[in-house]
Amino acid sequence: MSIMGTDERGILDAAEYDFTQPTVTLIGNETTGLSSGWREACDQLVRTPMFGSASSLNAATAATVMLYESARQRAAARR
């Protein structure tokens, strides 16, 4: 099992992370993101590609993006 956290400075885009493996997904709050302790607990930090002046999404939207990508990859793997 892998622990993945969302962070605007993550190494991978969401689509590059392998969600077909068992994954715990951590979503930070809208103001400060994940605490340093939670970031350190993560095996991988993943970002949502952003364009324009916004640097982050609210927590509910960030979770939706990650859950969608997870479902998309897992459905493709079952085909």
Q: What CATH number is associated with residue 23?
A: 3.40.1280.10
Band of the pLDDT at 71, cuts 50, 70, 90? very high
Structure tokens that stand for 78 in this block: 């079952």
pLDDT, tens only, 37-47: 999 999 999 99
pLDDT, residue 52, reads 86
DSSP letters for 12-65: EEGGGS-TTS-EEEE--BTTTBS-HHHHHH-SEEEE----SS-----HHHHHHH
Q: Is the pLDDT of residue 55 over 80?
A: no
Q: Name the pTM for this structure.
A: 0.88
Residues 79, 76: Cα–Cα separation, whole Å: 5
Instruction: Please say whether the beta carbons of 60 and 48 come within 8 A.
Output: no
Band of the pLDDT at 17, cuts 50, 70, 90? very high
Instruction: Please say whether the beta carbons of 17 and 40 come within 8 A.
Output: no
Number of domains in the chain: 1
pLDDT, residue 56, reads 77
Domain range for 28: 2-78
